[in-house]
Structure 1
Amino acid sequence: MHIACVHTAKGNIDIFERAAEGLGLPPKTLSHHLRQDLLAATEEQGWLTPQLREEVARELRQHLEEADAVLLTCSSIGPAVEDFPDAPVLRVDEALAEAALAADRKLTVLCAAQTTMEPTEALFSKVANAHGGQFQMVLVPGAWEKLKADDSDGYLHMISEAADQAYRDGADAVALAQASMTGAAERVKHGPAPYTSPKAGLAAAVKKASS
């Protein structure tokens, strides 16, 4: 089995290798393809423009030639996956949304990047309309700047603090919308470990690749 992962953040490569190990996948099941320029351009434009969406689609299409499934790990450019309705192309956060909204409870969805807010809200709304569930979106101000400055510890601290605050404010569950947030889950003290996307998204890709 070969799953091609398309990343826009270098740090996500290790995150997904750990997720693969946690799922018991054989070594070298994943290949990693880094396109930091796609996220940089999306941030510069403020949204995933049609031109950028087509560029993302070209990248995904390229890996379909040699992979059993393609997993897009960046939430900001996730909507490009909708251009592949009949192909084994997945966005990592769709499985996250389905898992987090499975129970009817008060869910807080945390984002760090402003460009992630709109596509993530649209995705969770689609899943909520289909399966039920309630959620609210929360942007963690200043967190993304920490990560871009290579302060990953400060970044994860801000995310875990925001999750703890969500629990203090009455949330029953928290979902970390971006794969880069994963390490913050184990730091949360005031509620259950938040839902994270890498293992859920990768498991969905394995299922798709095997079908």
Structure 2
Amino acid sequence: MRISFLHTIDGNRQVFEQAARDLGLHADDLRHEVRADLREAVQQAGTFPIDLRKETSRCLLELAAHADAVVLTCATLGPAVAEIENSPAPIVRADAALAAASAKAGGTIAVLCAAESAIESTRKLFTEHARENNASVEVVHLAHAWALFQSGDLDACFTAIASSAEQAYDAGATVVAFAHPWMSPAVQLAGKRRRPLDSAHAALRAAMQQFNERSAGD
């Protein structure tokens, strides 16, 4: 199964390659494209204008032409997927796959989100999925974790994220979800009894499922 990724943070390559190994996928079947400029342009604009949506869609369709599935790993660019029609391969939003997996648990979902530009789209997406299971959603903005991540202090960043996850569980969350794929290493630092969900594993499981369903229908 060939899977292509559209990233906006280069470090997400390693995150998804590790998740792929965990799920029995081979690194040789993965293709990565990094377009940090797209996320930066959205952040500078303060919105997601049509020209950036079109460029994101073009990139995704180009990847889909040579893959069995495509994963968009950036929550900020996620809304562009809804505008794509007739893709030659399934296109999975990592954040949407995470929202669906989180909603299955019901109850209260705490979504830890670092990038301010992704907060509103994340809230909307998780709320849509939660509604189907009568769950409630709280998006927690971790501005300090984003600052640590951007400064390159990853150990402190992941420790802060894990601590925030524990606090969310202590406050009554049924499930804690990490909105950004790069947060995934913090899962290992959180309590083993209450393991947060990460989008890398959720997205790859969704991509594999959609590929199998499409293959079965052919």
Q: Tell me the residue number matched to 1:206.
A: 208
Letter of the aligned partner of 1:39 in structure 2? R
Structure 1 Cα separation of the partners of residues 201 and 106 of structure 2: 22
C-alpha deviation, 1:109, in angstroms: 0.7
> RCO greater where, 1 or 2, for CA within 8 Å and sep 6 or more?
1
- 1:78-97 Cα offsets, whole Å, 9 max, x none, are 11111125431110111211
Question: 4+ residue stretches of structure 1 with deviation over 4 A?
Answer: none
| 2:168 aligned with 1:166 | yes
| Partner SS state of residue 193, structure 1 | coil
State the identity as a percent. 36
Structure 2 Cα separation of the partners of residues 165 and 42 of structure 1: 31
**1:1-211 to 2 correspondence within 5 Å?**
1-87=1-87, 88-189=90-191, 192-210=194-212, 211=214
- 1:42-80 Cα offsets, whole Å, 9 max, x none, are 111223222211111111111121111111001111111
| Partner SS state of residue 94, structure 1 | helix
| Partner SS state of residue 28, structure 2 | coil
Structure 1 Cα separation of the partners of residues 192 and 25 of structure 2: 32
Task: Calculate the TM-score normalised by the size of structure 2.
Answer: 0.91
Letter of the aligned partner of 1:118 in structure 2? E
39-48 or 117-126, larger mean C-alpha shift: 39-48
Structure 2 Cα separation of the partners of residues 17 and 9 of structure 1: 14
Is the 1:3–1:209 contact (alpha carbons within 8 Å) kept by the matching residues of 2? no
Letter of the aligned partner of 2:206 in structure 1? A
Give aligned pairs, total.
Answer: 211
Identify unmatched segments of 5+ residues in structure 2.
Answer: none
Task: Calculate the TM-score normalised by the size of structure 1.
Answer: 0.94
Identify unmatched segments of 5+ residues in structure 1.
Answer: none
Structure 2 Cα separation of the partners of residues 109 and 191 of structure 1: 18
